Structure 1
Amino acid sequence: MLDTPVSSAYPSTDVLQLTRRGHVLVVTMNRPGQRNALNAELRGALRATFDQYDKDPEFRCAVLTGNGPAFCAGGDLKEMAETKMQVPPEDSFVILGSKGRLEKPVIAAVNGFALAGGFMLAQNCDLAVASEEARFAISEVKRGRGAPWAVPLMSMVPKRIMMELLITGDPIDARRAYEVSLVNRVVSPDQLLDAAIDMAEVIATNAPLSVWAAKQSVELATEMGESDALRASHLLYHRVYTSDDAAEGPRAFAEKRVPVWTGR
Structure 2
Amino acid sequence: MGGTEHLDIQREGATLVLTLNRPEAKNALSLPMLVGLYDGWVEADADDSIRSVVFTGAGDSFCAGMDLKALAGKGTGGERYRDRLTADPDLHWKAMLRHYRPRKPVIAAVEGYCVAGGTEMLQGTDIRVAGESATFGLFEVKRGLFPIGGSTVRLQRQIPRTHALEMLLTGRPYTAREAADIGLVGHVVPDGTALDKALEIAELVNGCGPLAVEAVKASVYETAEMTETDGLAAELKRGWPIFDTADAKEGARAFAEKRSPDYKRM
Same fold by TM (over 0.5)?
Answer: yes
C-alpha distance in 1 between matches for 2:192 and 2:90: 37
Change (3 A) 1:224 1:91: farther
Question: Is 1:146–2:146 an aligned residue pair?
Answer: yes
CA contact (8 A) 1:116 1:138 kept: yes
Q: TM-score, normalised by structure 1?
A: 0.89
Question: Is 1:46–2:37 an aligned residue pair?
Answer: yes
Task: Tell me the alpha carbon deviations over residues 25-60 of structure 1, each in whole angstroms, 9 at most, x when there is no partner.
Answer: 111110011111111211111001110111111210
C-alpha distance in 2 between matches for 1:80 and 1:262: 41
Question: How far 1:232 moved relative to its partner?
Answer: 0.7
Alignment-derived partner of residue 4 in structure 1: none
Q: After alignment, is 97-106 or 14-23 more displaced? A: 97-106
Q: Gaps (5+ residues) in structure 2?
A: 75-88
SS of equivalent to 1:190? coil
Question: How far 1:12 moved relative to its partner?
Answer: 3.6
Alignment-derived partner of residue 66 in structure 1: 57
C-alpha distance in 2 between matches for 1:120 and 1:36: 14
Task: Tell me the alpha carbon deviations over residues 77-127 of structure 1, each in whole angstroms, 9 at most, x when there is no partner.
Answer: 3346898xxxxx644332156951111100000111111111011111001
Task: Tell me the alpha carbon deviations over residues 130-159 of structure 1, each in whole angstroms, 9 at most, x when there is no partner.
Answer: 000111111111222211311111221111
Q: Which amino acid aligns with 1:46?
A: L
CA contact (8 A) 1:47 1:95 kept: yes
Question: Is 1:243–2:255 an aligned residue pair?
Answer: no
Q: Gaps (5+ residues) in structure 1?
A: 1-9, 84-88
C-alpha distance in 2 between matches for 1:24 and 1:34: 27
Change (3 A) 1:80 1:141: farther
What is the aligned-residue identity percentage?
40
Q: After alignment, is 250-259 or 177-186 more displaced? A: 250-259
Q: How many residues align?
A: 250
C-alpha distance in 2 between matches for 1:158 and 1:111: 24
CA contact (8 A) 1:25 1:61 kept: yes
C-alpha distance in 1 between matches for 2:189 and 2:256: 37
Q: TM-score, normalised by structure 2?
A: 0.89
- The equivalences for 1:46-195 within 5 A come to 46-79=37-70, 90-95=90-95, 100-148=100-148, 149-150=150-151, 151-195=153-197
Alignment-derived partner of residue 8 in structure 2: 17
Change (3 A) 1:91 1:121: same
Q: Which amino acid aligns with 1:241?
A: F
SS of equivalent to 2:237? helix
CA contact (8 A) 2:93 2:99 kept: no
SS of equivalent to 2:56? strand
